[in-house]
Amino acid sequence: MVTFDDFTKLDIRVGTIIDSKVFEKAKKPAFQLTIDFGKEIEIKKSSAQITDVYRNEDLVGKQVLAVINFPPRQIANFMSEVLVLGTYSKQGVVLIKPDQIVENGDKLG
């Protein structure tokens, strides 16, 4: 079990995907995402295994939730800086996103 204090250590923010590329060197199919988290946090990159549900060209402009305070993780030749959140669903990983357009950098509360 985790405590509420453990949960509050996670910095989960809203960002908008501004670029998406097929991650050719990943062991499992993935996209390399570039995400704008607003002025305070700016631009971060993430490797996301979401190819079962999403097409590369449909991701730009989507808002997503991501954990921004995990240590960066090297994946092949790419440094993933944030963890984009999604649900493990029957059809594949489905992104978690706000149901209305909000400001980039807004914090999950």
The class that CATH gives domain 4-95 is mainly beta
Percent helix, strand, coil in the chain, to 5, is 10, 40, 50
Measured at the CA of 73, the angle between CA 63 and CA 95, to 5 degrees, comes to 25
The percent of residues above 70 in pLDDT, for the chain, comes to 100
- For residue 75, the model assigns a pLDDT of 95
- For residue 109, the model assigns a pLDDT of 80
User: What pTM was computed for the model?
Assistant: 0.94
pLDDT band, very low/low/confident/very high, at 94 (cuts 50, 70, 90):
very high
- For residue 10, the model assigns a pLDDT of 96
